[in-house]
Structure 1
Amino acid sequence: MNTTTRTSTAERIGRAFGRGWRAYARGERRVSNWLVAKGVPSVGATVLLWAVKLAVLGALLYAAFWFALVLLGVVVAGWAAAANTSEEDEWPFTDLTELRKTPGYDPNLYNDTSHELYTDD
């Protein structure tokens, strides 16, 4: 019997997200300290970082809006295409004998090997 506890997948994913968040926070702190070292006031650096965060959030929301709008358009187009099924849109020739009666019928175009005018090139 094995007495070691195993880490679940959810815990591994949570730890990975935690490491990512800590790395992001360290990077943000590093940028803030760099801005302060360059002479930007501490409040100004904080405001600048929040402005960048809000701009990124706005860009993501903008992209999500257009993605949702395109997806909605595809769904509406599919719904309209499915609702527009009528007998008029179907091919008028259902039988080969009816097709042979049409003017300008060429058996080579329809691969009609039983027709007397069919030529195998």
Structure 2
Amino acid sequence: MNTTTRTSTAERLGRAIGRGWRAYVRGERRVSNWLVSKGVPRAGGAALLWATKLIAVALLFYVASWIAVLFLLGIVAAWLGGNSADHDDRWTQQDELRNGEAGFGLYSSGGHRIDPHDPNDPFND
């Protein structure tokens, strides 16, 4: 029996996210201290950092909304393309696939071939 404990994937992921968060907070504190050293009041530096965060989140939402609009337009275009009214309207219930005078294909009830075909095609029986 193995007595060493194994670190789970979730725990490793949580620790990595925690390290990233701590690095971000340290960087933010460093920027805040740099602004204070340049003569900006501490409250002004905090407000500037919050405004920067707010602008970044707003830009992310803006880009995400345009991506969502494009995605929805693509879905609508695909739906309209699949439901177009002209793709099989010229064929009726009496039309059938069979061997006829012009080879195998879609024929009307009157015996005329409906689907496009090339009579010189060597594979057209």
Q: TM-score, normalised by structure 2?
A: 0.72
Higher share of residues assigned helix: 1
Higher strand share: 2
Alignment CA distance shift 1:113-1:47 (3 Å): same
Aligned to 1:75: 75
Q: Structure 1 residues 66 and 113 mapped into 2: Cα distance closer, same or farther (>3 Å)?
A: same
Q: Which runs of 5+ in 2 are unaligned?
A: 92-96, 103-112
Runs of 4+ aligned structure 1 residues displaced above 4 Å come to none
Distance 1:83 1:41 in 2: 63
Residues 100 and 28 of structure 1: CA distance in aligned 2, closer, same or farther (over 3 Å): closer
Q: Which residues of 2 match residues 19-98 of structure 1 at below 5 A?
A: 19-84=19-84, 86-88=87-89, 97=102, 98=113
Return closer, same or farther for 1:70/1:100 CA change in 2, 3 Å cut-off.
closer
Identity rate, percent: 52
- Per-residue CA deviations over 1:27-70 (Å, capped at 9, x if unaligned) read 00000000000110001100100010001001000000000001
Q: Counterpart of 2:94?
A: none
Q: What is the distance in 1 between the residues matched to 2:101 and 2:24?
A: 70
Structure 1 residue 113: Cα displacement: 3.0
Deviations 1:101-120 (A, max 9, x none): 7xxxxx3xxxx2379xxxxx
Structure 1 gap ranges (5+): 102-106, 116-121
Aligned CA-pair RMSD: 2.4
Q: Distance in 2 between matches of 1:27 and 1:77?
A: 46
Structure 1 pair 65–96 and aligned structure 2 pair: CA distance change class (3 A): farther
Q: After alignment, is 35-44 or 77-86 more displaced?
A: 77-86
1:10 aligns with 2:19: no
Partner Cα distance (1:76, 1:20) in 2: 40
